Structure 1
Amino acid sequence: MDREKAIIQLIEVFRQHGYEGATLSRLSQATGLGRSSLYHHFPKGKEEIGASVLSYVAERFERMILVPLWNKKEPRERLQQMCQNLREFYCQGQESCLLNAIALGEGNELFKEQIQQAFTTWIEELAQVLIEGGIATEIAYQRAEEGVILIQGALVLARGLNNTKPFERIIENLPDKLLS
C-alpha cells in the first residue's frame, strides 16, 4: 500500500474518533498495516499521520471548495458551485468535518495553526466573493463567518440526528442567505 492510499483510509478514523481516539490500533486496523508498516510510511508516528491527513484534506478542500470561489463567474454562481461541491466533499452531509473532529482535545494544540488557517482562509475567500457581490466589507466578513458556522453546525446536527436534511437545507439556501 502506498502512502496516499493509507492516508485516504486513515481520514475516516480521525473523522470518527478525533485525534485522541485515533489510536495506533484503530489506524492499523483501518489500513490493514501493522504498526511497523505505519511507522515505515509515517516515521514520526501518530502526529505525522494526523498532519498528513490534514494536509491531504486541505489540498482536496482547496481544489473543491476554494478554487470555485476564485473563478471569474458571478458571485452567485461561484457560491452555488461551492455549495454543490460541499455536498460532494461532505458526502451529502453524511461525513463530519475533519477539522472539527481533530480540534478536540490534544489535536487542537498540535494542529491549532493548520485548523485556524483553514477556517480563516475559507472565511476570507467567502468574504471576497460577497464583497464582489456588492456586500460591504464588514458585513461580508460577518456573513462569511455565519456561513461557515451554518455549514459546520449543520454537519454536527446531521451526524447527531443521523439525518442529512439540515445540511441539505443549509447548503441549498446558503447563496441566497449570504448575498441577501
Structure 2
Amino acid sequence: MGRTASVDDELIHARLAAVFRASGYAGASLSDLSRAVGLQRASLYHRFPDGKPAMAAAVLTSMETQFGDILQPLASEPDVAEMARRMALVYKDGLMACVLDTMTLSGAPQGIRDQATRLARTWLQAMSDAAARAGASEQDAQRRARAALVRIEGALVVARVLDDSSVFEQVLGELPDLLTS
C-alpha cells in the first residue's frame, strides 16, 4: 500500500499555478516552485520526474478541468451569465493573471505553448457554439467568441495593473449580450 500524499495534487497544482502566473514559465525557478508547494526539490522531482515542463503541463491539465467546469453552462442552452460567474471565481474577480497568458511567455517549451493553445481554442469553440445556438451565423459566432476572449484577457490585464476588479466585472457583465444577443 502506497504512502498517502502529504499535499494533494489539486493544492500542488494551484500553488504551482500561482508561481507560473506571477513569473511566467521561464521566470519560475525550481526554488520558487518548491517553496510554493512546500516540498523539497527531491520530493517535487519525485512527483514530477520531468521537472518544470511536467509541472507546467500538470498546471495546464488542471486548468483544463477548471475550464470544463467554467464552460459547462455553455454546453446546451447557453447560460453565459453563469459561465461569467464561474470565471469570476476562478480569476478572483479579475485580480489573478491568466495562466494561459503567463505560461506562453518566452522560454516556455513548445509542448506547453501547444497545450495552452488547445485550451484557448476549446474556450473559443465553447463560446462560438453558444453564440451559434443563440442564433448567430457561424462566422458571426466565431467573431463574437474572439471578441469575448480578447475582452476577457484584456480585462484581466487591466484589472491587475490598476488593481481594480470593476474592469473585469464590467466585461463579464457584457458577455451575455456579446455572445447571445
Residue 3 of structure 2 aligns with which residue? none
- Corresponding residue of 1:162: 163
Structure 2 residue ranges without an equivalent (≥5): 1-5
Over residues 100-147 of structure 1, what are the superposed CA-to-partner deviations in whole Å (9 max), with x where a residue is unaligned?
A: 010101216341221111111111111111111111110110110110
CA contact 1:14–1:102 (8 Å) conserved in 2: yes
TM-score (norm 1): 0.92
Give the ranges of 4+ consecutive aligned residues of structure 1 lying more than 3 Å apart after TM superposition: none
Structure 1 unaligned runs (5+)?
Answer: none
Cα distance between partner residues in 1 of 2:177 and 2:63: 27
Structure 1, residues 131-175: CA drift from partner, whole Å, max 9, x if none?
A: 111111101101101101100000011111111111011001111
Contact 1:66 1:82 in 2 (8 A): yes
Considering fraction of residues, name the structure with more helix: 1
TM alignment of 1:125-144, pairs within 5 A: 125-144=126-145
1:108–1:133: structure 2 CA closer, same or farther, 3 Å change rule? farther
What is the 5 A alignment of 1:23-102?
Answer: 23-63=29-69, 65-71=70-76, 73=77, 75=78, 78-102=79-103
Letter in 1 for 2:71: L
Q: Kindly report the root-mean-square deviation, in angstroms, between the aligned alpha carbons of the 2 structures.
A: 1.3
Partner in structure 1 of residue 176 of structure 2: 175
What TM-score comes out, normalization by structure 2 length? Answer: 0.92
- 1:114 is the counterpart of 2:115: yes
After superposition, the C-alpha distances for 1:18-77 in whole angstroms (9 at most, x for unaligned) are 1111100101111121111111111111111111111111111112x2211113x3x3xx
